[in-house]
């Protein structure tokens, strides 16, 4: 069975835990409680399978606390990750500045491809989800950007997340195939 590890990272209070719970169909949390370190959610998605055989895939979603005090733990969290989802609150100007650091640390330093990264501009309930053009600096402007609003259009983010999971599964199976070929030859 193919197993993929995906990190949910981003600034404090951006909505990572709420989104993680929604996308993995875990429990609903109604009050804000900062994630201490990391929370690991294991799940399968019936819409995402591996290869021609349609083998089920198992995912680990690592919901990482956004507080810089956990920075010393980040290298351990990043180990063997297959993808990174950067979640930020589009209505908080400081978050736009911070996501550069998250990208640099979790994507570039891990030598992940941009296709292994997804940016989610999360709009909290009552924020009046303005999907206006976010001016992201390079290299962030090359990444796939999805807006999420669980109040107005929860299915949109679910569909985009499934597409992202499928791309991660493809990249994991391709690298596994290359590894097997290198052993054989």
Q: Is the dihedral of CA 122, 46, 59, 117 positive or negative?
A: negative
**What span, in angstroms and rounded, lies between the C-alpha atoms of 74 and 68?**
10
Sequence-distant (6+) residues with CB within 8 A of 19 are: 8, 87, 120, 122, 148, 150, 157
Which fold, 2-184? Rossmann fold (3.40.50)
Residue 171 burial (CB count, 10 A): 17
User: Domain segments of the chain: what residues?
Assistant: 2-184
Distances (CA, A) of 156 to 29, 74, 139: 21, 30, 25
pLDDT of residue 130: 59
Quote the mean pLDDT of the chain.
88
**122-175: pLDDT as tens digits:** 988 776 655 666 778 889 999 999 999 888 888 999 999 999 999 999 888 888
- Is 49 within 8 Å of 55 (Cβ atoms)? yes
pLDDT in tens, 106-116: 999 999 999 99
> How much is the average pLDDT of 8-37?
85
Confidence of residue 52 (pLDDT cuts 50, 70, 90): low
């Amino acid at each position: 069975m193919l197993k993929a590890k995906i990190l949910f990272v981003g600034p404090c209070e951006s909505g990572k835990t709420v989104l993680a719970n929604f996308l993995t169909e875990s429990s609903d949390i109604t009050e804000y409680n900062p994630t201490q370190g990391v929370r690991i959610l294991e799940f399968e998605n019936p819409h995402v399978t591996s290869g021609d055989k349609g083998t089920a895939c198992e995912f680990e979603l690592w919901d990482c606390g956004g507080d810089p005090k956990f920075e010393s733990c980040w290298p351990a969290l990043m180990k063997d990750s297959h993808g990174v989802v950067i979640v930020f609150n589009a209505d908080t100007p400081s978050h736009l500045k911070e996501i550069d650091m998250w990208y640099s640390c979790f994507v570039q330093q891990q030598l992940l491809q941009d296709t292994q990264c997804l940016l989610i501009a999360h709009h909290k309930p009552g924020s009046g989800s303005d999907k206006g053009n976010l001016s992201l600096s390079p290299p962030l402007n090359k990444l796939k950007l999805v807006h999420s609003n669980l109040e107005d259009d929860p299915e949109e983010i679910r569909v985009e997340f499934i597409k992202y999971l499928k791309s991660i599964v493809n990249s994991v199976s391709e690298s596994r195939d290359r590894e097997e070929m290198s052993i054989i030859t």
